[in-house]
Amino acid sequence: MTPRQSSGRRLVPAYLATGGRARPSRNTLDRLTLLHGVGMPITSEVRPEEHRILELLQPGALSLAEVAAHLHLPVSVVKVLVADLVDAGRLHARAPIPEAEQFDRHILERVLDGLRSLKS
């Protein structure tokens, strides 16, 4: 966990967690991107914030926004950290499942009419 003062302010600025980088190595990550670990052991080469992300994902998948909320870090910072973990092969990231598209009512009515004509 990132150290905090009693006032709730962060002792270390969030951008230091990313080594000062502001942009992730991939632009495919979204707040709703689902993340899950690959089951690799957590080694000492993993930075503390990345270690916490991997620990959070051990029980199962979470969205990028949920991970950011658990870590009390901005989503933009977590995107950079997650991109690094995906690049290292320690995480899988999957785009959210899109909402189902609405069916055309006219087509459904024609199918229903066709099925009714087969019945009679």
- The CATH class, in words, for 14-97 is mainly alpha
Identify which of 9-13, 19-23, 63-67, 103-107 has the greatest average pLDDT.
63-67
Confidence label for 25 from pLDDT (cuts 50, 70 and 90): low
| pLDDT tens string 42-101 | 888 888 888 999 999 999 999 999 999 999 888 888 998 999 899 989 999 998 777 666
Domain coordinates of the chain in residue numbers? 14-97
Name the 3-class secondary structure at 91: strand
What CA–CA distances, in Å, run from 115 to 40, 107, 108, 110? 53, 12, 11, 9
Cα 71 to its chain centre, rounded Å, is: 13
What pLDDT does residue 5 have?
46
